[in-house]
Amino acid sequence: MKLEKRIELDFNNSIIKTIGNTPILRLKNIVSHLPDTMEIWVKLEGFNPGGSVKDRPALQMVKDGIESGELTPDKVILDSTSGNTGIALALIGSILKIPVTLCMPSNVSSERKARISAYGAEIVFTSPMEGSDGAIVKAREMYEQNKEKYFKPDQYANPGNPLAHYLTTGPEIWQQTEGRITHFVAAIGTGGTVMGTGRFLKEKNEQIQVYAAEPDDAFHGLEGLKHMESSLVPEIYDATRLDGIVPIPTEPSYHLARRLALEEGIFAGQSSGGAVWAALNVAETLLAKGVKSGVIVTILPDSGDKYYSKGLWDA
């Protein structure tokens, strides 16, 4: 090891301390067609300093790297991303004074590119036709060519990703719903949120149902989400631990993102619209089966300010 000095991660005197403990809100207007006994709650992950749920696993993976000695002051943090994890790693890297290099599809929103650049990270663009899988392959190639140079968190395979949600997201939801939660729904990119949160909630109450929501087609428009059948399946994702999978359509997800702003005052991204679509689907399926009540919680992964250039907010 070139440097004996270890990285110091200061939680008390940096913006890092604001990661997590995000608010939760019960939807009112969008769900007005449901009986009052069928509740849908949304956890607002856009309140994290990096603007998304990915701040949680990024921090956990960096912490684990520091504690294991794999991340040292002379290395570069390298990973693939569709945007939000990259923003989180770039933010943390700027605080630690550690350089960050990110592989990402060239067609991600310009807002994401600008945010990453603002934190001083380097971006290696990959083919938009290959999506997030192309970025994954490129990051692997770069790492294999120079392992001594890089620390690669590898969000798709790192157990620290779901662990972050097991340690933080799950306990927060349990506390915020006072243990009343009956169903948990999360849109999947790496699968870390649904795996880690679901595991914690199941340990608290095995009757809680856990659902993953994924795009309903390989050629979808939900940036950051994975259609698992047509993608490289993340190592941390295990569908056998789920109670079900909800396919989500692109255009209705966009529509619900707009409705969140217009009717609930929640400015969230397109994957959040997809998450709410899935939660509504779960609620309506329960009612059709004669189940009259439930406390359904879903994650709104990020805020809506990364999607201006994507036309999400066009009239």
Residue range 20-63, pLDDT digits in tens: 999 999 999 999 999 999 999 999 999 999 999 999 999 999 99
Distances (CA, A) of 115 to 44, 76, 291: 20, 19, 44
CATH of 15-52+162-310, one of 2.40.40.20, 3.40.50.1100, 3.40.50.300, 3.50.30.30: 3.40.50.1100
For residues 62 and 217, which has the higher predicted lDDT (pLDDT)?
62
Looking at residue 226, its pLDDT comes to 77
Q: Given the structure tokens 């997030």, which residue do they identify?
A: 132
Q: How high is the mean pLDDT of the chain?
A: 93
Using alpha carbons, select from 196, 208, 144, 141 the residue that is nearest to residue 170.
196
> How many CB atoms lie under 10 A from the CB of residue 216?
16
Helices (H), 127-243: 131-145, 160-164, 170-176, 192-204
Distance, in Å, from the CA atom of 127 to the CA atom of 122, rounded to the nearest integer, reads 17
CA 182 to centroid of chain Cα atoms: 21
- Return the domain boundaries, the chain: 15-52+162-310, 55-151
Beta bridge partners of 296: 40, 183
Q: Quick check: is 54 catalytic?
A: yes
Q: Band the pLDDT of 1: cuts 50, 70, 90.
A: very low
Q: Exactly one of 271, 272, 303, 306 is catalytic; which is it?
A: 271
Q: Exactly one of 43, 52, 54, 310 is catalytic; which is it?
A: 54
Looking at residue 168, its pLDDT comes to 98
Residue range 146-205, pLDDT digits in tens: 999 999 999 999 999 999 999 999 999 999 999 999 999 999 999 999 999 999 999 999
Q: Quick check: is 75 catalytic?
A: no
The H or E element that residue 273 is part of is helix 270-288
- CATH code for the part of the protein at 55-151: 3.40.50.1100
Same fold, 15-52+162-310 and 55-151: yes
Q: What is the mean pLDDT of residues 260-268?
A: 97
Running DSSP on this structure, what letter comes out for residue 252? H
Q: What is the mean pLDDT of residues 268-286?
A: 97
> In this model, does residue 215 exceed pLDDT 70?
yes
Residue range 108-139, pLDDT digits in tens: 889 999 999 999 999 999 998 888 889 989 99
